Amino acid sequence: MTAVLDTPTAAGTVVSTLTERSLRARRLVVDMAASERGCHLGGSLSVLDILVAALHRAAAGDGTEVVLSKGHAAAGLYAALYVSGVLPENPAPLYGRAGQPYTGHPGPKVPGVRFPTGSLGHGVPYAAGWALSRRIGGHGGLGIAVAGDGELQEGLVWETCQVAAARELGNFVLVVDRNGGQNDGLVADISPLPGLTDRFAAFGFEVVETDGHDLAALSELFDRDRSAARRPLAVVAHTVKGKGVPAVEGRAGSHYVTIDATRAAKWKRAIR
């Protein structure tokens, strides 16, 4: 499948496909919340559309690598990898089980995962290093890091932004899943991020704000030709924690959830 959208009809088809994938993935994430281990539900659901769109971009086969830097959203990543055709098996029944690679934070034993993440901040420089390797190797492809807004409190993120801008890494894309939450509460209460787009711009990034659940907008952003770009791209994607599951949507308490099968079935029926 090509990721280049030539006509409105083709774009509509892609968006329709991605929408169907996101809905399926959301149900899988709820299944993982209903596992013995539970999962980081709110952040997995907020980042899901970003991941589905980014993985579709990577399927173009030009060497684009997607790194989920907010590795605690592993359930969302596993689900997105499966519905995108990267993972050959449904991860939900295997999630968190002994002998299976589907741990609470993703590692490279999972097909489609190249770097270990979860200790926050590291996925951003991994993706930047990947982008640099593509550029100096004379190849196309992007290094896409998907970070959380809480994760931006890590200094490693800004170290990397400094380097990426200085190196004019136009094929590096940093997407911020701005759901406004973090482990202990709201980002705004703990360590707020005023003027976030201005911060990236000041670092020398090209900056775009978008609805992080708008698959058409996300696809269009990822599909832009960046082969001649000299500035890395920051995408501030406004999202909703727990997106798609009305019972938890927008609630800080959805950060980590363990539910029973009955509730899971009810939540899955309500997914929209």
Partner 1 sequence: MTLSGRDAYRDELTALAAEDPTIVCLEADLGGKNHPFQAAHPDRFFNVGIAEGAMIDMAAGLAAGGFKPFVSTFAPFAALRAAESLKLTLGYLNAGVTVMAPYAGVSGAWFGTTHHCLEDLAVLRSVPGVTVAAPHGEAEMRAVIRSAARGGGPHYVRTGRNAAYESLPLPGTQLPPVNWESEGDPEDVCLVSVGEEGTRLSLAARASTGVAHAHLVYLDHEHLAESAAELARRHTRFVVVEEHRSQGGAAEALALLLPGCEVTSVAAGREWPSTGGDHQEVMAALGLDLPAVLAAVAQARRGRPAAAGLVRACVR
| Chain contacts with partner 1 (rule: CB under 8 A) | 65, 107-108, 114-116, 119, 121-122, 124-134, 136-137, 143, 155-156, 159-160, 162-163, 166-167
Closest CB 65 distance from partner 1, rounded Å: 8
Q: CA-CA distance, 102 to 229, in Å (whole number)?
A: 36
- Structure token pair of residue 264: 């899971």
Angle at 177 between CA 188 and CA 248, to 5 degrees: 75
Q: Which residue has the tokens 């993982």?
A: 32
Compare residues 16 and 162 and give the one whose CB is closer to partner 1: 162
Compare residues 139 and 266 and give the one whose CB is closer to partner 1: 139
What phi, psi does 174 have (nearest 5°)? -110, 115
* DSSP 3-state of 172: strand
Compare residues 144 and 217 and give the one whose CB is closer to partner 1: 144
Compare residues 126 and 200 and give the one whose CB is closer to partner 1: 126
Closest CB 97 distance from partner 1, rounded Å: 21
Closest CB 136 distance from partner 1, rounded Å: 6
Compare residues 112 and 181 and give the one whose CB is closer to partner 1: 112
In angstroms, what CA-CA distances link 137 with 132, 141, 171, 190, 212? 8, 11, 13, 42, 32
Closest CB 128 distance from partner 1, rounded Å: 5
Q: CA-CA distance, 178 to 185, in Å (whole number)?
A: 14
- Structure token pair of residue 150: 């809480």
Helices and strands, number each (H, E), in the chain: 9, 7
Q: CA-CA distance, 235 to 81, in Å (whole number)?
A: 21
Closest CB 135 distance from partner 1, rounded Å: 9
Closest CB 25 distance from partner 1, rounded Å: 25
Compare residues 77 and 252 and give the one whose CB is closer to partner 1: 77
Compare residues 62 and 159 and give the one whose CB is closer to partner 1: 159
Helices (H), the chain: 8-33, 41-58, 74-83, 123-136, 155-166, 187-190, 196-203, 215-223, 261-270
Helix (H) or strand (E) holding 176: strand 172-178
